[in-house]
Amino acid sequence: MVLKDISDLVLQLEKTVSPLFEKLKKEYGCNNHPGLSLTGYNPFFIGNTKINNPVISAPMAGISDNTYRIFAKYFGSSLLYSEMVTSNGLLYGHKKSIEMTYATEFERPFVLQLFGSKPETVAEAAQMVEDRAEIIDINMGCPVPKVIKTGSGGALLRDEGSIKQIIKIVRKSIKKPLTVKLRLGWDYDLINIEKTAMIAESEGADAIAVHARTVRQGYSGHADYSYLIDLKKKIKIPVIISGDINNPFKAFDLLRDTDCEGIMIGRAARGNPWIFAIILMGIILMDKKVFNEKDADFAKKFEKDIDYFLNNDIKVKILILYLKSLINFMGEEKAVKEFRKILGWAFKGIRNITDIKKDFFEINTFSEAEKVMAGLIGM
């Protein structure tokens, strides 16, 4: 059951997944391996850090842990974010906050995301942990009331002066590239993404990511990309777009229409780490004009092929490795609890397994998980 180390995990993933990619490559004549070994497809730089392709996994509190990042990287994500970490927590030496700042050598380039409201506090925390990451990011979009109450996260979008000060002082305090993650604005009466993006650039940020919703929206409604169409005409630093991106067609359209350097995938990747490979492969194929997004028949065929090749049997094998990795990082008891959620997401919307889904939430050990998952093979 035990994995020796991350190379062992990657080797086992490669054995499980490469037949799938071989089939897709043959079918579509795409010679790039869409996962790990893909380098150099529309790469860009954040400061001095090379980002190998435009497909990026989003930071997600409670989700983007070591295992999540290892799988995202394996399937092609070109940048790996920590969960957001409280600057105060780091300065007070809180164990949980400090633990969140560690990434293995496989999870690179690694972005460590901090949040806080006081420029000096964020700067001190950034200085304390900058050696652990390739890039330091500041969260300026989190809508969670607990965070807003402290004047950090999304609350900063109501206070452009603080945004300016935080970026200015953090920039001076660290040597590593610095990025910020923004939203369109506080609410639809205060859309200020152009302004905040320009402040970020002029104070020395090396890139921005933008979730195309307002803070007040939380996660409701839809991402509205219309405000991002002209953003690249105002700033030169790379822009990464986030919000509701869950297939290669949308990703391709957005990259083309906005001229932005990257797109970010969050919720669609929970329990579905292979989505990075699907999106990356899809956009490469569209770019090479193997098919275009208007060619509905071809696009449907691509989606059907992926569904066919990425059947439950392969998913089960990948997810067992996911559980093994969780166990390596957090021990069996905690890992299995985390894994229940992952299974729920991985098999969401699949109708004929309703009975098995109930069992997902009863799993308490690795062998129970294996037993429940065996029931999914061949379905």
Ligand X SMILES: Cc1cc2nc3c(=O)[nH]c(=O)nc-3n(C[C@H](O)[C@H](O)[C@H](O)COP(=O)(O)O)c2cc1C
Cite the active site residues: 142
**Cα separation, 233 vs 258, whole angstroms:** 9
Per-residue mark of binding to ligand X, 236-275 (x: CB under 6 A) = ------xxxx-------------------xxxx-------
Query: DSSP H helical segments within the chain, as ranges?
Result: 6-28, 66-74, 87-91, 95-99, 119-129, 145-148, 160-173, 193-202, 231-234, 248-258, 275-287, 296-309, 312-330, 332-346, 354-360, 366-374
279 to 318, contacts with ligand X by CB under 6 A?
none
Binder among 20, 55, 56, 58 for ligand X (CB under 6 A) = 58
**Cα separation, 30 vs 282, whole angstroms:** 10
- Closest residue (Cβ) to ligand X? 266
Report in angstroms how near the CB of residue 31 gets to ligand X at its nearest.
Answer: 29
**Cα separation, 44 vs 251, whole angstroms:** 17
Tell me if 67 contacts ligand X by CB under 6 A. Answer: no
Tell me if 185 contacts ligand X by CB under 6 A. Answer: no
Comparison of 175 and 222: residue with beta carbon closer to ligand X: 222
CA angle 368, 339, 104 (to 5 degrees): 120
Q: Return the bridge partners of 268, or none.
A: none
Report in angstroms how near the CB of residue 264 gets to ligand X at its nearest.
Answer: 6
Binding segment for ligand X among 60-68, 90-98, 228-236, 314-322 (CB under 6 A)? 60-68
Report in angstroms how near the CB of residue 48 gets to ligand X at its nearest.
Answer: 23
Phi, psi (rounded to 5 degrees) for 236: -100, -25
Comparison of 113 and 192: residue with beta carbon closer to ligand X: 113
Phi, psi (rounded to 5 degrees) for 172: -70, -25
Report in angstroms how near the CB of residue 245 gets to ligand X at its nearest.
Answer: 5
Name the residues that contact ligand X, by CB under 6 A: 58-63, 83-84, 113, 139, 141-142, 181, 211, 242-245, 265-268
